[in-house]
A and B are shown apart, each in its own frame.
Chain A
């Protein structure tokens, strides 16, 4: 049962344009959502998070949007830079629980010069 889904395995974007990565979830108990970025041969690194009491959180070039009714969140990167090329994982947690994270399958983002 895939509770967190990233339906796009890969995405290619021109440098300077906007990258939009999408994530859907099924568990209505999830109330905290995170995006992680992973380079080859490295562990995932935390990028940005959002609590279910918000619908938007912004940190520099990165913005995460949450639509609770649709059980959907997205990560916007503006402007996209070559260093943003990586695999991005969406993750969710029921903070009332044991803080474990449930991850999506990941989206490989490639920024073309």
Chain B
């Protein structure tokens, strides 16, 4: 079974620029999550999709972050404009939706904002 694919692996941008991350979940996984992991902290949920609908985006800074999951498969997370404090690893995860034990994470995208 192929894992959760994320790209790019690394990205360095200047503050106020925009950036986008891509995630391809495990085939058949209905639920997709984006997490932000700041250095020295645990992952924090940004947004959760069930198929192509948003289940929870309560912790997504909507003034600068946006995410979509067209056709209920791939997803993109965008930051515009980026701030220094957005430097983090952005993790995508997917699950069948039948239980939390089924979470599978991708390797993440490390974003550095300078």
Residues of chain A having any CB pair with chain B under 8 Å: 4, 6, 9, 32, 34, 36, 41-46, 49, 89, 91, 93, 95, 98-106
- Given A98-B56, A103-B42, A103-B43, A42 contacting B107 (CB threshold 8 A): yes
Neighbouring B residues of A43 by C-beta, 8 Å: 4, 91, 93, 105-108
Bound Cα distance A9, B45 (Å) = 21
Q: Residue B48 at the A interface, CB < 8 A?
A: yes
Bound Cα distance A113, B55 (Å) = 46
Which interface residue of A32, A34, A36, A43 has the most chain B CB atoms within 10 A?
A43
Closest to A90 in B: B42
Bound Cα distance A106, B33 (Å) = 19
Q: Residue B95 at the A interface, CB < 8 A?
A: yes
- Given A43-B108, A101-B45, A106-B42, A34 contacting B101 (CB threshold 8 A): yes
How many of chain B's residues have a CB under 8 angstroms from any CB in A? Answer: 25
Q: Which 5 A-B pairs have the closest CB atoms?
A: A103-B42, A43-B105, A93-B100, A103-B43, A100-B45
Neighbouring A residues of B4 by C-beta, 8 Å: 43
Neighbouring B residues of A6 by C-beta, 8 Å: 42
Beyond known contacts A9-B40, A99-B48, A106-B40: 9 more, CB 8 A cutoff: A34-B103, A43-B91, A95-B99, A98-B56, A99-B100, A100-B33, A100-B56, A105-B40, A106-B41
Q: Residue B8 at the A interface, CB < 8 A?
A: no
Bound Cα distance A101, B24 (Å) = 20
13 A-B contacts (beta carbon < 8 Å): A42-B108, A43-B107, A45-B105, A49-B101, A91-B42, A93-B100, A95-B99, A99-B95, A99-B100, A100-B45, A103-B43, A104-B42, A105-B42
